[in-house]
Structures are given as C-alpha cells and as structure tokens.
A and B are shown apart, each in its own frame.
Chain A
Amino acid sequence: MELLSLDFMQRALLAALLIGVAAPAVGVFLVQRRLSLVGDGLGHVALTGVAVGLLTRSAPVLTALVAAVAGAVAIELMRAYARTSGDVALAILFYGGIAGGVVLVSLSPGGTAANLTAYLFGAITTTTPADLVAFVVLTAVVLLLVIVLAPALFAISDDEEYARASGLPVLRLNLLLAVLVAVTVVTSMRVVGLLLVSALMIVPNAVGQLVARSFRSAVLVAVVVGAVCSVGGVVVSFYAATPSGGTIVLLTIAVFLAVATASGVRTRVRAARHARAEFHPHVHGEGCGHPPVLHDDHVDYAHDGHLHSAHTDAHGTHWDEHGTAPPADRAAGAAPDGPR
C-alpha cells in the first residue's frame, strides 16, 4: 500500500491510533462531569506553549506539555478554591492562552500563519520521529493511569460531593485527571490540532452514551469509535488532501449522527412492537389463575382483559403486552386450545 510506504504516514497513523484510543478514554470523565470544554481550554493554553517552543527554538511538544499541565493545575485549583469567580477566571485563562500563542508565534523566527494553522488544526506531515516517541510514552502512561484509577475517576466524576464525603482524595484526583487531559491534548496536537482535540475526547463518548447501558461498555464503544475515526480520518485526509484534524472530527460526527439516527429508529420500532407489561412480579403458568390463550405460535395469558406474553432476553424473562384478550376467553376463563 502506497500509504504505508511513506514514513510520515506511518508515523501519522500510529499517532492517530494512540490519540484515537487515549482521547475518548480520558474524555469520558469530562463528559460524565459535564466539563467537556476543559479539553478545549487546555488546547488554547497549549498553543502558548507551542509558541514559546518556536520562539526559543526548543521542541514545541515539550513546551506545550509544560504549558498545558500548568494550565490544567491552575484550572483545578481555581475550581476548588475560587468557587464563584472560577468561570470567568477559566475564560481568561483560555483567551490568554490562544492570544499569547498567536502573538508569540508571530514574533518567532519561523512563525507564519501556515505554521499556526498546522498546530491549530493538525497536519499529518508534521509528526517527527522524536514526537512519536514522546507520544507513545505519554499515551502509555495516560492509559495505564486511567485503567488503574478508573474506579476512582468514575467516583469523582459520578458524584464529586459523595466522593469527598466518603474520604476520597478528591482534589488530588481532580488534579491528576486535569493533567491527564493536558497530556492527551498535547499528544493529539500533531494529528487533530489544538482547536479540535476536544472533539475527539467528547464526540466518541456521545456515541457511547447513545448505545451503552453501562459506563464500562460506553467507554469501550467510545474508544473503538475514536480509534477507527482517528485512523480513518488520517487515511481520508491523505487521499483527499484535507487537513487531518477537520477530517477526523467530521468523520466522528458523521458516525455520531448515523448512530443517533439508527438508535432513534430502533427505539421507535421497538416501542411499536414490543410493549412491556406493567411491573409484573407474577409468573404466568399452568394454574396461575390467568387463563392461557393460544396466540399464533405461542401461549399468552389473559390478564385483566389483555394478553401477556413471556419474553426472555439477556436479562431474564419479562411479560410483554400482546394485545387485547378475546372477550370469550375472558368470559370462559380458558382458551379451547390451551396447553394442558
């Protein structure tokens, strides 16, 4: 394949895979606690770090990492201690981050608008071998911490006040989560770009939210969607000559819309042909007092004038509504062909 014979594409695809897995896995905790925009903000702050790197001719990934982590810690401390003004302080930090980035990039020797665009929206050709090593190490650390601390991160995200009341180190866990977000932002800046990175943290989780019933399965769905869209987006952007970040995000949103539509249709179809009976502790059976009625290929039970049908699925057996009982059955108390 032509795609894989190019060194920069190999690096871009690997970087895309890493970020496609890590971003939703970290982002799920932001979505859970409705702090989806924190990732955006840290992307803004990281831009200042990139600019400092360009200005001082040091590696932009490292300076971006320092800036993003510092921003993350600042945001968490503000959230914890400056309750009322936290919102405005956050906004100032975000705007300051992007404004600082734009000004500093313009001052730096190689600083051009094209250069800036590559950092803001992602450019697959820019991932250097040194970047890739850093991304692999950082992503491995992020994923390890998320896996080990998942129960704790779930607890603080699900109910922060309860976590605090039960003695969990909430502030330290919040700081850790913020730092994980910051690191994820930086590792994704080459492929997705600092302005769009948050989309990869949030949108795959919106898909998980639609289809999953447990937190665990929601995360797994999000990670699969993130990885497929991230890698797929890089491939598309190669052939279509589009910016990788925008392509990845559009692909992810397309998946979200498709799943949302499909699950909407499915819900309606199910509602139409699968009406569950009212809360039903009673198990119908022979001699239960409810007359059995042969209904096409199965036996229903007449219950207060309507039919209940056993429906066994993964969660056990419940009773579905299967229409109105024929008046004769109600009156006679038994169906002529009922099983004995």
Chain B
Amino acid sequence: MIQGGPAVGDDRAPVLRLRAAAVGYGEVTVVDGVDLELARGEVVALLGANGSGKTTLVRGLLGLATVHGGDIELFGEPVGHLTRRWRVGYVPQRHTVAGAIPSTVREVVASGRLPRRGLLARHGRSDRLAVRAALAEVGLAERDREAVSTLSGGQQRRVLIARALASEPELLVMDEPTAGVDAANQRALVDVMRRLAGRGVAVLVVTHEVGPMAAVVDRAVVLQAGRVRYQGPLTAQMLGASDGGRWDGAPQWDGAHWDGHHPPADDSLAGAPWVPDLATGRDAGPGGE
C-alpha cells in the first residue's frame, strides 16, 4: 500500500483544471480550446486517433510541451509554476526501458522516488518503503533484483508504472498503457487503477482502446484534430464489442454523443484534410512506435 496518500491543505482545487487550454511545440499549436477537470479519485480516458493531439495535451500537463493559451492548473497551481512536480506520476508511452547499461527493477523504480526525496537526500526508510510498496502494487516485489531488460514487455510497463507510483503521486498520467501488453498484464493494470482511484488518486489515461479499462473509467474525453469532440460517459462503440474495444476516434458515431459538433457519418473522414498528420511524430500512437 502506498503510504501518505494525497497531501491535504490546498485540495479544494481540482487535481487538474484546463480552461481553453492550447498546447503545442515551438510555434505550432497542436491542441486548442480544451476544457477539462479531474477530481480526486476520478479515472478519465483521453481518446482519439493518431495525431489527434492526445499525447501533446498530456505533455502540456507534464511541462514537456508549451502552453500557448488558456490555463492549465494542477492542484490549483499553474503548470509552469508547479512546485512539487512529483505529485504527478507519469507513465510514458514506450514499451520498454531503454538504457544501455543493465539496471534492476528496483533501481529503475527507486529513480521515481528521487524527485520527492530530493537530489542530495539519503534514500531513507520512508523511501525504501515507498519503493517496496510501489513494486508490490504492480506485483513485482519478488522480482526487484532482476534486470529490467529480461522482463517481458508487459512487465516492463509495470516497472514504469511502479516508478511513477514511487513518488506517491496524486495524479497518475498514463500514455497508452495497454498497447502491446498481454491480457494478464492488462488485467493487472486495471486492478492497479481501481485501487489507486479508491485511495483518491486521479488517473488520466491516454488510449486507443478503452476495452480492458472500461470497468474503471468514469468518463471519456475524445480529441479529434486537436479539439475536444466529446466529453462524457463511455459510449457503446468506445467499448467496441465488435472490434475488441479499439477506438480510432473518427468514424464510429453512435448518433448520440458528439456534443453538437458535426457528427462524422461514416469512414470517409479517415484521412480527411482537417485531421492533421503531424510531422512532429510526437503524437504517434502504437502504430508509430
């Protein structure tokens, strides 16, 4: 179990609040006009096709992309001036841990504790406990001395989740956590999300496929061409019984949930000119990896 849990005090403010937020890189604005709030313990899925701006938006929350307009606040503080950044745990999109020198599961997870503990502080008892708890949370406590590179892709993903949990975050941001992960590891992931939400941790998960996570997702936000096209409960075809829960953002409209924006009627919109093919490559989904 993660100790401490969310800090108290300034927590009248939502965990995350975006108001008319625009985010991009350099001069290029990729997402625009995004309004979004996340409360403690809420699990929100951010959906959209490749190039819809999901990853860019998330990178904006993490301080890795530039806010071009509007406001992004975390715990009531503007994202650029967030003092304790470790309150946000980040699980990046890539499948594997990539360093050239072998490192153990424990070493990687402990590196997630560093921001909270401070650069010069000793790795003390509370830090060791937090690392152990994070490992236990993802079911890797027994494998902490193994080299990360010897684990399967799904297990390596769990290592990255544990690394994010080691700082005992109040918001967990996961980018495509189920892509390329086998069913058993997906179930483990869903269990982790459920327990975290139960403890009041907010979870924002960027994904192509809600499928395996449908049971824990409270709300979906659909991005299309850098704009929010839908925000609300999961819809039938997001769960996608027919195609294993795969959601490509554009063509499948159920006639009820496009929030007043022009509903795409069929597959003809795939590759339509206003669906940007971003040359940045920063928003590549699993297909672009």
Contacts and interface: CB of A to CB of B under 8 A. Distances in A.
A205 interface: yes
A168 B102 contact: no
A192 interface: no
Nearest to B25: A83
Given A161-B92, A162-B90, A215-B101, A154 B62 contact: no
Contacts of B86: 166-167
Contacts of B167: 166
Interface in B71-120: 82, 84-86, 88, 90, 92, 97-104, 107-108, 110-112, 114-115, 119-120
Contacts of B114: 151-152, 155, 166, 168
Interface in B127-165: 142, 145-147, 163
27 contacts: A148-B120, A149-B119, A149-B120, A151-B114, A154-B111, A155-B114, A158-B103, A159-B99, A162-B90, A162-B163, A163-B111, A164-B63, A165-B85, A166-B85, A166-B112, A166-B115, A167-B84, A167-B85, A168-B115, A212-B101, A212-B102, A213-B102, A213-B145, A215-B101, A218-B102, A315-B145, A315-B146
Interface of B: 62-64, 82, 84-86, 88, 90, 92, 97-104, 107-108, 110-112, 114-115, 119-120, 123, 142, 145-147, 163, 167
A340 interface: no
Nearest to B110: A151
A256 B110 CA distance: 30
Contact of A159 (B62, B92, B101, B147): B92
Judged by DSSP, the binding face of B is loop
Interface string A165-189: 1111100000000000000000000
A64 B115 CA distance: 35
B64 A158 contact: no
* Across the A-B interface, the 3 shortest Cβ-Cβ residue pairs: A167-B85, A165-B62, A215-B103
Interface stretch (A27-35, A68-76, A123-131): A27-35
B90 A158 contact: no
A5 interface: no
B102 A209 contact: yes
Contact of A215 (B85, B98, B102, B120): B102
Contacts of A152: 114, 119
Contact of B99 (A158, A166, A219, A316): A158
A218 B149 CA distance: 14
A164 to B, nearest CB: 6
Contacts of A151: 110-111, 114, 119, 123
Interface of A: 28, 31-34, 148-149, 151-152, 154-155, 157-159, 161-169, 205, 208-209, 212-216, 218-219, 315-316
Contact of B90 (A34, A165, A215): A165
A32 B99 CA distance: 5
A214 B120 contact: no
A159 B108 CA distance: 10
Contacts of A149: 119-120
